[in-house]
Amino acid sequence: SSYAGMAPNPADHSLAIGMDSFADCLNAQHGSVSRKRRKGSATTSVKEQAVYTNNSQSQLDAQLSQWKRIMLLVVAITVHNIPEGLAVGVSFGAIGTTESATFEAARNLAIGIGIQNFPEGLAVSLPLHAAGFSLGKSFWYGQLSGMVEPIFGVLGAVAVSVATIILPYA
């Protein structure tokens, strides 16, 4: 029988028969954990199985913790890119409103933010690749985390245009 998705209780002797298939499933999916069998023993004891299951659970907990840290980093960098996009959009939207609001100033800000986005994209891509994503997928997700910048850049430019009309003396 299949025990995938269930958390077996090692103290429950009724599950002892199916524990080998559960353990083999975990082993196949999440790497190998060494376990020792006694000579002549066809099945492991409940105590040995409990140790094996605890080791497998520890591995699963470690992988889940690693995945949570990676996702937190991806979300943090994506959210961090929102105000950067707004800043670039506002600088382009404000061109011509004052003497210091020039195209060159807006372009320089966009280039500066664009240059510092390379290490941010790497900060997203490298942990994903280390976690097992392919090079292409990890690169794609690194690029995707920066796609909020042009979207919010357009919104920032539109916001400046609308605010200038609404508040002509601001």
Give the H or E element holding residue 143. Answer: helix 135-145
Sequential DSSP letters for 141-167:
HHHHHTTHHHHHHHHHHHHHHHHHHH-
Tell me which residue has tokens 């979207």.
151
Residue 47 confidence (pLDDT):
62
Residue 30 in this model has a pLDDT that exceeds 80 = no
Closest to 113 (Cα-Cα) out of 93, 99, 92: 92
Residue 15 in this model has a pLDDT that exceeds 70 = no
CA distances from 153 to 24, 51, 66, 112, 167 (A): 51, 54, 32, 14, 21
pTM: 0.62
Spatial contact of 95 and 108, defined as CB atoms under 8 Å apart: no
Tell me which residue has tokens 């979300």.
75
How many of the other CB atoms lie within 10 Å of CB of 149? 25
Query: Which position has the higher pLDDT, 41 or 15?
Result: 41
Residue 39 in this model has a pLDDT that exceeds 60 = no
pLDDT digits (tens, 9 = 90+) for 77-124: 999 999 999 999 999 999 988 898 999 999 999 999 999 999 999 999
Which tokens sit at 82? 């929102």
SS3 140: helix
Residue 80 confidence (pLDDT):
94
